[in-house]
Amino acid sequence: MTITKTLIAVAISSALLTACAKQGNTSVTESTATTLNSQSTEQASKQANALFDTIFKEGVNRNPVRQTYLGIKDNYDKWYDMSEANSEKEHAIAKENLARVTAIDINNLDAQTQISYRLLVQRLENQIADYKWRYHSYPVNQMYGTHSQIPAFLINQHSISSVKEAQDYISRVKGAQKLILQLIEQLKIRENKGIIAPKFVFEHVIRDSQNILIGAPFDSKADSTLLADFTRKVAKLDITEKEKSALTDDVSQALTQHLKPGYQALITYLTQLEKKADTRDGVWKFPDGEAFYNNALKRTTTTDLTAEDIHTLGLSEVARIHDEMRVIMKKVNFDGNLSEFFEFMRSDKQFYYPSSPEGKQRYIDEAVALIDDMEGRLDSLFLTKPKAKLKVKAVEAFREKSAGKAFYQSPAPDGSRPGIYYANLYDMEAMPTYQMAALAYHEGIPGHHMQLAIKQELTGIPMFRKFGGYTAHTEGWGLYSEFIPKEIGLYQDPYSDFGRLAMELWRACRLVVDTGIHTKQWTREEGIDYYVSNTSNAVSDAVKMVERHVVMPSQATAYKIGMIKIIELREQAKADLGDKFDIREFHDVILKNGPVPLNVLAELVNDYVQDKQS
């Protein structure tokens, strides 16, 4: 799972809309169209790409948080604007941007720029069409939300290399109060529309919000998460101790006088809202819930597969993977049925490290070793490799209880921050050693780090493609990356290969459970029972996964749909090219065009095959 396209994209909230532009550009639009129609393909494509980049930059310039994620330190003291007024403004800008882009004659553009044109038009059209669904979400939940983004962002994104940047940090601590009040307004709008998160969500978000207010300067305990972070960063500045002390005093005051009242207001509101919550888990309960979910599936998978298609596919894949697991079960001489084998894999102590600092460090060290080994084998699989470094890190204590099993955060484009594979070691019984390799390959190398770092380092494509994404492409690649190492002789240990299959099985079950909850009105308990009955994962995994399905409808269907398509395209290319097929070239086609919808990916692979044949 990537923080880039799921946690980050959602956490930035409705204020962060796709590549938008400033208002009042009618004359630019008209002149652009006129000029492009009269220029050569090269000139027209160059000018079109310049417009695409202008639109992207204008969107970034309106969002200080996204600037920081991209390594830009303009507006370093500010947050984004979550107000209704800003949402309406962004909607209007999206319409104007669509007019600016569609004024271009696509026939004057080269092939790559035509792809960019199609993608940007589609993105803007989807953004405009989806405006009516803007309230069909839970702005705070156990997976993402402003309440958890504020501390995570300050800790992981807001670096401090000068006094000014320390003062900017303090300003952001102060500004968090306004942001939280805007968040409460968004929650109230949804409350009035009857869109309230299920009851289980509230325990998580209230607890996580309360955790931010534990420790100094809020009480007499050790430094709170944010004060400790600020103090640690300021300690590295080349200034006097007196200046450091003054900055620490200022941030302490900002924490108690601004951030604390904001969080207290949120906690108070959520405590009252919880009384209205029920145990209905699917979006079928929303106004026009069925239409909303069908639209969400279309956006997530970039296909026209229906909920029923996806549910049936999931059942078929679960059955296939179960059969492959039975082969491994016989290979290790296990005496029993598959359900008993699952229980053995779930509970036998040989597959789990202790929940101690030493056990957790061992997990991190071995994950690093797996990634380092894979990195040394990349030449046989890839022509293009990322320049950015990769770091493996445990999820921070303040959010580990709620966060997912593992996720990836992209590097800063300027190289100032590496890509990070986060492993959640809160519950070591949910992190079996037999899944360690597949998880490291998915989040690290050759998975999301290869894909997303390369994407940011691409040249010759507009910025919205370098920094945007499609979940089916991104997560399809991640799941495909768990499979690639097997083809070069890894997963020699049968238990490790079982772990690979267990990870794939988990994603197949997602197809069944996501559609089950949101269209067949499965309860949270029914979803949990399906995972426990059909996989070897810990019960805590099943609980977290089902709760993720509930608050992120359709998102989890992307992995298996994307992987299936990539393998389908690869096998077709192999059949068409025979001895001319080169796996490294195929992977270049998948990665060097950046994320694209699956239908566009099919076109790109087909073009590669035709060029190779000729």
> What length does the chain have?
614
Section 310-337 average pLDDT = 97
pLDDT score recorded for residue 36: 46
Reported confidence tier of residue 2, pLDDT bands at 50, 70, 90: low
DSSP letter for each residue of 315-328: HHHHHHHHHHHHHH
**Is 283:553 a contact under the CB 8 Å cutoff?**
yes
DSSP letter for each residue of 203-246: HHHHHHHHHHT-SBTTSSSSBPHHHHHHHHHHHTSSS-HHHHHH
Inform me whether the pLDDT recorded for 498 exceeds 70.
yes
Q: Is residue 574 packed enough to be buried (19+ CB in 10 Å), middle (13-18) or exposed (0-12)?
A: middle
Pairing type for strands 406-409 and 390-394 reads unpaired
**Tens of pLDDT, residues 173-186:** 999 999 999 999 99
Domain residue limits, the chain: 3-133, 146-276, 294-560
**Tens of pLDDT, residues 241-250:** 999 999 999 9
**Tens of pLDDT, residues 384-438:** 999 999 999 999 887 888 777 899 999 988 888 899 999 999 999 999 999 999 9
Calculate the average pLDDT of the chain: 92
**Is 485:462 a contact under the CB 8 Å cutoff?**
no
Amino acid at 378: L
Q: Is residue 526 packed enough to be buried (19+ CB in 10 Å), middle (13-18) or exposed (0-12)?
A: middle
**Is 612:583 a contact under the CB 8 Å cutoff?**
no
Section 20-34 average pLDDT = 40
Q: Which helix (H) or strand (E) holds 418?
A: none
Residue whose tokens read 């970039």: 302
Q: With H, G, I as helix, E, B as strand and everything else as coil, classify residue 451.
A: helix
**Is 146:140 a contact under the CB 8 Å cutoff?**
yes
Give the number of C-alpha atoms closer than 13 A to the C-alpha of residue 61, restricted to the C-beta side.
Answer: 9
pLDDT score recorded for residue 1: 66
pLDDT score recorded for residue 90: 98
How does DSSP classify residue 469?
A: -
pLDDT score recorded for residue 417: 86
**Tens of pLDDT, residues 446-469:** 999 999 999 989 888 999 998 889
- Specify the pTM: 0.86
**Is 428:187 a contact under the CB 8 Å cutoff?**
no
pLDDT score recorded for residue 76: 98
Which of 574, 579, 572 minimizes the C-alpha distance to 603?
A: 572
**CA–CA separation, 476 vs 598, rounded Å?**
10
Reported confidence tier of residue 30, pLDDT bands at 50, 70, 90: very low
In this prediction, what percent of the chain has a pLDDT beyond 70?
94
Q: Where are the alpha helices (DSSP H) in 274-414?
A: 289-301, 307-331, 338-347, 357-375
**Is 249:217 a contact under the CB 8 Å cutoff?**
no
Dihedral (CA of 38, 42, 46, 48) sign: positive
Amino acid at 465: R
pLDDT score recorded for residue 402: 74
- Which strand ranges, in their side-by-side order, compose the sheet holding 406-409? 390-394, 419-423, 406-409
Burial 484-500 (b: 16+ CB within 10 A, else e): bbbeeebbeeebbbbbb
Q: Which helix (H) or strand (E) holds 393?
A: strand 390-394
**Tens of pLDDT, residues 192-239:** 999 999 999 999 999 999 999 999 999 999 999 999 999 999 999 999
Section 578-603 average pLDDT = 96
Inform me whether the pLDDT recorded for 564 exceeds 70.
yes
pLDDT score recorded for residue 412: 84
**CA–CA separation, 460 vs 287, rounded Å?**
43
Amino acid at 123: R
A 10 A CB-CB count for 503 gives 22
**CA–CA separation, 382 vs 106, rounded Å?**
32
How does DSSP classify residue 24?
A: -
**CA–CA separation, 164 vs 181, rounded Å?**
26
pLDDT score recorded for residue 468: 87
**CA–CA separation, 549 vs 515, rounded Å?**
9
Amino acid at 579: D
Residue bearing the bigger pLDDT, 604 or 2: 604
Q: Which residues contact 293 (CB under 8 A, 6 or more apart)?
A: 283, 284, 307, 518, 519, 553, 554
Q: Where are the beta strands (DSSP E) in 395-526?
A: 406-409, 419-423
**CA–CA separation, 158 vs 439, rounded Å?**
28
pLDDT score recorded for residue 475: 94
Tokens, residue 158: 């807001």
Residue bearing the bigger pLDDT, 70 or 308: 308
Tokens, residue 326: 């039975």
**Is 409:4 a contact under the CB 8 Å cutoff?**
yes
Section 501-517 average pLDDT = 97
Inform me whether the pLDDT recorded for 38 exceeds 80.
no
CA-CA-CA-CA torsion for 308, 313, 319, 321, nearest 10 degrees?
-140
pLDDT score recorded for residue 16: 32
